[in-house]
Homo-oligomer: A and B are copies of this chain.
């Protein structure tokens, strides 16, 4: 009756990899991103695109290099990303008078409207993880531990 689809595989010993912080981080991150893509399917938006929109919303007028740097993205790779958002009418580049090299980034009116919906969806999405973790304190605890991994020395 059961195992109609499951290949009924042998259970492997995973004690070595399971004890590795990097491995566990990787698996968790992959899973959360997959769920993100499911949850945000209607918006056709990748995690990186969401983060760009959120960062521009919080910092209108920032330069491409600034946004890319804050997200840990090489500015060369950021170009295609912002081009895509521009082409969808969500963001726009304005030329600065005082520095004609750089582009100031802004959300368009459409981008602002989308961001409103995205924030709502994101709050729901985040709530599902908080529930899984066991409450807001557990979430804060996780973020705090993750922060220690990234902070230098």
Query: Which positions in A face B, CB cutoff 8 Å?
Result: 7, 9-10, 12-33, 36, 47, 51, 54-55, 57-59, 62, 65-67, 69-72, 122, 126, 129, 132-134, 138-139, 141-143, 145-151
CB nearest neighbor in B for A18:
B143
Given contacts A10-B62, A19-B126, A33-B26, contact A132 B149 (CB under 8 A): yes
Cβ–Cβ contact B28 & A150, under 8 A: yes
CB nearest neighbor in B for A53:
B16
Given contacts A62-B12, A69-B9, contact A55 B145 (CB under 8 A): no
- Shortest distance in angstroms between A130's beta carbon and chain B's nearest beta carbon? 8
Partner of A28, one of B7, B36, B149: B149
How far, in whole Å, are A118 and B26 apart by their CA atoms in the complex? 19
Residues of A contacting B: mostly: helix
How far, in whole Å, are A75 and B23 apart by their CA atoms in the complex? 19
- Shortest distance in angstroms between A85's beta carbon and chain B's nearest beta carbon? 15
**6 tightest A-B CB contacts, nearest first:** A16-B54, A25-B29, A22-B32, A28-B146, A13-B58, A142-B145
Given contacts A20-B126, A51-B23, A142-B21, contact A31 B149 (CB under 8 A): yes
Cβ–Cβ contact A16 & B143, under 8 A: no
CB nearest neighbor in B for A24:
B146
Cβ–Cβ contact A150 & B31, under 8 A: yes
Cβ–Cβ contact B14 & A55, under 8 A: yes
CB nearest neighbor in B for A149:
B28
